[in-house]
Amino acid sequence: MTLLDKIESFEAETHAGRNLHFGIREHGMMAVVNGMVLSGLRAFGATFFIFPDYCKPSIRLSAIMRIPSLFIFTHDSIGVGEDGPTHQPVEHLAALRAIPWLVTLRPGDANEVAEAYRAVLPWKDRPVALILTRQTCRPSTAPSTPRRPAWPRAPTCSPTPKRGSPS
């Protein structure tokens, strides 16, 4: 859910698009997300999970204002692969969870991702950070089971991506 399929991009020549591209400007992207939310839209921004420090001021402001911004971070894993240890976030989850009024969710499989979206989209008084993996995970939960904290009995994600696989 980071690129709206079959929807134009907002560009200098085309203002009708709904996809905005920011390049490597995480702070600016999340600030724009906050502005869009303040104007009444339901907006989200997405980037790799190695970059939340760049956008933390915007994330903190959304939490202080208690607005429903949605921040999506992907590639949460020590198995990121070819980019090496500089792209293996390990401390960012704790840092985001320490921000008051920011709800930080790290779904364990596709069913939990769907359930997370169902749970948070109606919220109007708090921002959410969704932390998603890039690994292929087999479902460890049934789609319609009641939500309760649990640990899978066996690993459900492949430990490392296959060499040459797309990021």
Is 26 one of the annotated active-site residues of the chain? yes
> Smallest Cα–Cα separation from 1: which of 49, 60, 43?
43
What six digits make up the tokens of 143?
A: 């789609």
Q: Using CA atoms, how far apart are residues 57 and 59, in angstroms rounded to an integer? A: 5
- Options 13, 26, 82, 115, the catalytic residue: 26
- Torsion sign over Cα 127, 131, 72, 54: positive
d(CA 133, CA 144): 22
By the 8 A CB rule, do 88 and 80 touch? Answer: yes
Q: Which residues, 6+ apart, have CB-to-CB distance to 84 below 8 Å?
A: none
Using DSSP, state whether 97 is helix, strand or coil.
Answer: helix
Catalytic residue annotation: 26
